[in-house]
Amino acid sequence: MSDIKQRIEQLKKELNAVVVAHNYQRPEVQDIADFVGDSLELARKCTEVEAEVIVFCGVHFMAESAAILNPQKTVLLSEGDAGCPMADMMTGAQLREWKAKYPNATVVCYINSTAEVKSESDYCCTSANAVKLTESIPDKDILFVPDKNLAHYVSTKTDKNVILYPGCCPPHDRVTPGQVAQARKNYPDAELVVHPECRPEVVALADAVLSTSQMIRHVKESSNDTFIIGTEQELMYRMKKDNPNKTFYVLSPSLICPNMKKTTINSVVKTMELKRNVVTVPEDIRIKAKRSLDRMLAVV
């Protein structure tokens, strides 16, 4: 084991810490994590760990969700300024304005949102359970924030009246139907799987629309051996590792999330040594945000 990996193992013991990482993290970071997963799996995992400290390798809203669900634990974000531009596209004040415009709508927020937005929402969801959760809501009118693309996808899969807010994930939103046409031409036998954060016109051309961990399972189980991957390119690290005989191509060069790339193995060591980047949420907001997250975790 390299010196740096040994140091991380030692720090895990000293701090009684567990390291969790999102599927978009650099390979070197995935390799030292105790658990790697999608947003739903990571939120669930954080409620199950016994360690006192959770070191979150991902972006701010993910560590914040872990802190909301586990107030008794210390949550450290691997890189303090790793944020999510989509989460920053809606403030609590903006959500309050939209709620005033649609007073009868039930509010569903994507987990890629701030704690304040979660606290003002009725339900939270991830891309893995957005359709199932929205379907389970008895009301017809759903104000879905902040991702217009995931909201649109949900509107096509349910009979709800889904009201969209104009937020998006820049790397996924930049993928174009022209890039799909080019990829289909280059790899005519490949299966195209995309994330629902892509635009509706891209989603419409895909063979499957899945969250990141759903994609990992799908490519393993599929009888196809070539895939075009329509999400952040690092997802292919795990896919290649799990399926050495299959071939993967990224759909677009735009599919790199600079915030997910901020964390390195060195930043994990520094964060643990200094116990820096502690993520906390004011208690009044935390309690209300936890209600919408608990409802998300209740959907299986």
Q: Enumerate binding residues for ligand 13P (CB under 6 A).
A: 23, 38-40, 84, 112, 126-128, 169, 197, 211-212
Name the token pair of 197: 């954060």
Tokens in use for 93?
Answer: 């004040």
Residue 211 touches which member of ligand 13P, ligand SF4, none, C-beta under 5-8 Å by kind: ligand 13P
Among 167, 171, 196, 230, binds ligand SF4 (CB under 6 A): 171
Among 18, 57, 59, 69, binds ligand SF4 (CB under 6 A): 59
Angstrom distance (rounded) from CA 6 to CA 108: 43
269, 11 contact by CB (below 8 A): yes
Strands 226-230 and 191-194: parallel
**Interacting partner of 171 out of ligand SF4, ligand 13P, none (Cβ under 5 to 8 A depending on kind):** ligand SF4
Site string for ligand SF4, 259-288 (x = CB under 6 A): xx----------------------------
Among candidates 250, 291, 273, 280, which has minimal Cα distance to 120? Answer: 291
92 or 170, CB closer to ligand SF4?
A: 170
Q: At how many degrees (to 10) do helices 265-274 and 3-15 cross?
A: 30
Shortest separation between residue 196's beta carbon and ligand SF4, angstroms: 11
Which residue's CB is nearer to ligand 13P, number 82 or number 281?
82
Partner from ligand 13P, ligand SF4, none binding residue 259, C-beta < 5-8 Å depending on class:
ligand SF4
Contact 53, 76 (CB under 8 A): yes
CA distance 263 to 171: 18
Count of residues for the chain? 300
Please choose, from the candidates 120, 170, 119, 179, the residue with its C-alpha nearest in 3D space to the C-alpha of residue 149: 170
Q: At what angle do helices 60-69 and 39-48 cross, to 10 degrees?
A: 30
User: How many C-beta atoms surround the C-beta of residue 43 within 10 A?
Assistant: 22
Q: Tokens 């701010």: give the residue.
A: 60
d(CA 109, CA 98): 13
In whole angstroms, the minimum distance from the beta carbon of 132 to ligand 13P comes to: 14
Q: Which does 127 bind (CB under 5 to 8 A by kind): ligand SF4, ligand 13P, none?
A: ligand 13P
| 263 interacts with, out of ligand SF4, ligand 13P, none, CB within 5 to 8 A per kind | none
Query: Between residue 76 and residue 105, which ones bind ligand SF4 under the rule CB under 6 A?
Result: 84-86
Q: Min. distance of Cβ 270 from ligand SF4 in angstroms?
A: 21
Give which of ligand 13P, ligand SF4, none residue 38 binds (C-beta under 5 to 8 Å, depending on kind).
ligand 13P
Binding to ligand SF4 (CB under 6 A): which residues in 228-257? Answer: 232, 257
Q: Does 169 bind ligand SF4 (CB under 6 A)?
A: yes
Question: Which residues of this chain interact with ligand SF4, rule CB under 6 A?
Answer: 59, 84-86, 112, 169-172, 232, 257, 259-260
